[in-house]
Amino acid sequence: MYGRRASQLLKEIDSSEAGQLAPFNSDVFDQVIRECNEHNSQFQTLIRKMVDQNLDIETTRNEDHYGAAIHHLSLLRNKRCLMAYMYNRAEVIQSFRWKVGPVLPHDIQGKLHFSEKEYFKNHSTAIKSYISEMDIDLTVDMVPPKDPYIQVRVLEDIGEVSLGDHSVSLTKNSLHFLRRTDAEQFISQGLMEEFLE
């Protein structure tokens, strides 16, 4: 059945949770590409057959024309599915830049196609360039602020960090009273957590 493998890719996108990526399915992807090229050569063969019989391609409506039409439309469907697959994954990758930061952890990197890794890097650079042009950090302050200072507990050894005009020693399991914007970047990396009594 034409187009069934391509819809498998789409089902994969549909069934994964929002904001999560499944590993890149290169097997099915390559199969769909092969299908496309198959369709194309079949299409060309049929068209050539009609030309050899001196039939006008634009207007003739025989079984070859319809066969060619089916191949053409199946190719288009496969193309749309492939593009949708890549595009939707790219959208999730975009969201990673905001949620996780400019460097992706290894387990996510393992799920990406090499072109997606490049896409992430270029996209990150573009965002960084915009942020530095505007001179406002857009990756902090993701949630409306309730308190200017929060209590945090350090989860992993970070060492000496200079915040504002004084430096703080962030050792594991120590409690600190930090400005919210300073703490946010550590919290999003999972190195700190908010300490709620």
Partner 1 sequence: MSSWNDDEDLASASAAEAATTDVELLKRAWRNEKAAPEILRFDSPLVSRVREQIQLLEETLDDFSDSGVDDLVVSLYQMDLDRTLFLLRSYLRLRLQKIEKYAMHIARSDDLLSRLSQQERRFTKSPGSDGSAFLVVGLVPSCSEIMEKHLEQSVLSKLPYGYDSVTRQSLSSTEDDMVPEPQLDTFVFCKTKSDVGAFQLDDIGEEVVDLVADDLYVLRYKSIKGLIESGRIDLI
Q: Interface with partner 1 includes 91 (CB under 8 A)? A: yes
Binding partner 1 (rule: CB under 8 A), the pick from 10, 13, 70, 86 is 86
Which residues are bridge partners to 162 per DSSP?
167
Alpha helical stretches, state H, 53-179: 63-99, 106-109, 114-134
Alpha-carbon distance of 3 to 74, in angstroms, equals 7
Place of tokens 């493998």: 5
Binding partner 1 (rule: CB under 8 A), the pick from 83, 105, 193, 195 is 83
Alpha-carbon distance of 33 to 79, in angstroms, equals 9
Instruction: Fill in the per-residue mask, 130 to 149: x = in contact with partner 1 (CB under 8 A), - = not in contact.
Output: x--xx-xxx-xx--xx-xxx
Q: Interface with partner 1 includes 115 (CB under 8 A)? A: yes
Backbone phi, then psi, for 147, in 5-degree steps?
-135, 140
Binding partner 1 (rule: CB under 8 A), the pick from 53, 60, 129, 167 is 129
Nearer to partner 1, 32 or 168 (CB): 32
Per CB under 8 A, the segment of 13-21, 85-93, 150-158, 186-194 that binds partner 1 is: 85-93
